[in-house]
Amino acid sequence: MLKRAGPLPEGSRVRLRPTRPDELDWVMAAEGHPDNRPFVTRWTRTLHEECLTHPDLAHLVVESRADGRAAGYVILAGLASPAEAVELRRIVVTEKGRGYGRETLRLIAGLALEVLGTRRLWLDVRANNPRARRLYEEEGFRPESTTPDGLTILSITRERGRPGKGEGE
């Protein structure tokens, strides 16, 4: 939960806000959509519900500023003690090609590194998702390791900075 972070960030295209329980059907449909299914491990509704109130997690909707529609969602972990690291556990964008993913990634990096003061924001990406990996690397994330099952761990740190900071926000 992000109670101590204050208002959630907004960009020029999207804003972040807490996911409501009545939006979980939409969330589950988004992660199961053919455009996302190859890249996202499907969760049960119960797992998503637990994220809504768990003190170490934040489940956020990415909302289009133009019309207020949900355009994706994000799950963050490590919030109970964010000083060392915060995990971007999930980022799913349903409206591809509009810059929503890039702007969301920038908003999350700013929230984690600047507002929460974490030293390191990290995520993993599957080998079959070169488009996402390219975006992460363009935004300053660097590979750290590869797991035995083929996930690449990437991170960005406060010390390295953020190349996209300020652009389009």
Q: Summarize pLDDT for 103-118 with one digit per residue, the tens.
A: 999 999 999 999 999 9
Per-residue pLDDT for 159 more than 50? yes
Domain ranges within the chain, ordered by starting residue: 10-157
Which of 61, 53, 58 minimizes the C-alpha distance to 17? 61
In one letter, which amino acid is 88? L
Per-residue pLDDT for 4 more than 60? no
Q: What is the mean pLDDT of residues 37-47?
A: 94
Can you tell me whether residue 32 is helix, strand or coil?
helix
Q: How confident is the model at residue 166 (pLDDT cuts 50, 70, 90)?
A: very low
- pLDDT tens-digit profile of 139-151? 999 999 999 988 9
Contact predicate 86/104, CB 8 Å: no
Q: Pairing relation of β-strands 85-93 and 120-125?
A: parallel
User: Per CATH, the architecture of 10-157 is what?
Assistant: 3-Layer(aba) Sandwich (3.40)
Q: Helices 24-32 and 45-53 meet at what angle, rounded to 10?
A: 130
Tell me the percentage of the chain whose pLDDT exceeds 70: 91
Q: Note the pLDDT of residue 14.
A: 97
Q: Note the pLDDT of residue 158.
A: 85
- pLDDT tens-digit profile of 52-78? 999 999 999 999 999 999 999 999 999
Q: Note the pLDDT of residue 7.
A: 82
Quick one: the chain helix, strand, coil %, rounded to 5?
A: 30, 30, 45
Residue 143 CB neighbours (<10 A): 13
